[in-house]
Amino acid sequence: MAVGQIEAKAGSRLNWHAEFSEPAAEALFRRTMQTHDACQLRYALCSAAGLFLAFSLADYALLGPGGAFLSLLLMRVGVALCCLALTMATLKRPALAQRPLPVNLICLICLTGLMATIPLRPDQIGIHLASMIFASMVLYLFVPNRFPWILTWNAYLAAGVVTAMLIWSNLPPELIFTSLLLLGFVNLLGSLTLTRLNRLQRTQFASLLEERAINRRLQSEIEERCQLEERLRHMATTDELTGIANRRHFFELASRELSRALRERTPLAICMVDIDHFKQLNDRHGHATGDRVLAAVAACCQSVLRDTDIIGRYGGEEFVLALPNAELHTAASIGERLREKVTNLTVPTVDDLGQLSVTVGISRLEATEVQLEASLLRADQALYAGKARGRNCVVIADPQAPSLSAVKA
């Protein structure tokens, strides 16, 4: 989704005072902005405390030492202490900045204290009016996420100023009306600024949420694609029935071992393994039983192999093994262990299967060979020679001798 569409969608979810219409979204936004709001509120409280204390100097210059000055000083110090107390409280508990009671209470104290200076200094209307405008601006700029309350406080401020002017000052109605117009202009400007700021913040927040949702969906799709690729790779390289490498993948792995053997001049043995009488077994017990036998024999092969050895399903009931760094006697020992283990194998759920057996043909890569075909052919010939001799045996193909030698059961 484009940025403009995201912002338009987010903007349509805001109410008249630029807050989210959905309570859950507004609550999430406020939790996100909690630290920022607490910082902004502390700025406002420190500004208010500084304003009240700074005007004590003007009070002293205008009133001199006396009862009126002491009354003003006590009021200003009390308001400043209240502001500083809430400032310290928000440092420990930032959530207080978003709770109505403490913030409304401190605003009521500050505004009431500000208006209380009018009857004590009724001749300084210009200073009072400047203070009221400054207080109104502080409310709009530094007290966040409280637009309805800010309007209420400013209405209270305007009503209090007009009432104080009518009672304690001798200003003509025209000047009072001008003062109201000035306060009204400040409130209009502050309302527009705050609304625009709130809308901008929430639009950006909604855009951020939408972007995160899109990123999560993309991440989920990427993970699904990776899993699918892994499954496809597994299906392309693994024999589904036995769980070992299929024929194509076996030759890929064996070709790497061939290259290493040629490069490092190390031996490489090849074994062909065939399950004896597998066709009769299938015909008698069914293909489901034959499949279980294939899986069991494949597991036997894996159990006797070393970590570096490679096994694959060659086709039908035949398996092929590549044994790196294995001379013929090592390959024969592995083949014999495999033959004995298959002989003692029992297949679950099939009690009358009889004794299973395999025939193993073994060859090695010769120094003059750079391909696997010749070695595979000799192992296959040794395998068929073993079947001709009665099966259930391990036969080694020796290219230096005119006949095949057998390691019998």
Residues in the chain: 409
Pairing relationship of beta strands 310-315 and 318-324 according to DSSP bridges: antiparallel
C-alpha pair distances (Å), 331 with each of 308, 387, 397, 407, 408: 13, 19, 11, 12, 14
CA 152 to chain centre: 43
The amino acid at residue 112 is T
Active site annotation includes 373 = no
3-class DSSP assignment, residue 171: coil
Assigned token pair, 365: 């890569």
**Integer Rg of the chain from CA:** 45
- DSSP, res 276: T
Other beta carbons within 10 Å of 157: 23
Q: For residues 16 and 200, what is the distance between their CA atoms, to the nearest angstrom?
A: 14
Catalytic residue among 210, 252, 264, 317: 317
Amino acid at 359: T
Residue in 301, 196, 175, 171 with CA at minimum distance from that of residue 244 = 301
| Tokens 């219409």, located at residue | 21
Alpha-carbon distance of 396 to 331, in angstroms, equals 9
CA dist., res. 34 & res. 366, Å (int): 77
- 222, 225, 229, 232: CA torsion to nearest 10: 170
Token representation of residue 301? 């092969």
| Opening angle at CA 46, ends 101 and 41, nearest 5 | 45
Whole-number Å distance between alpha carbons of 132 and 149: 17
Question: So which residues are the catalytic ones?
Answer: 317
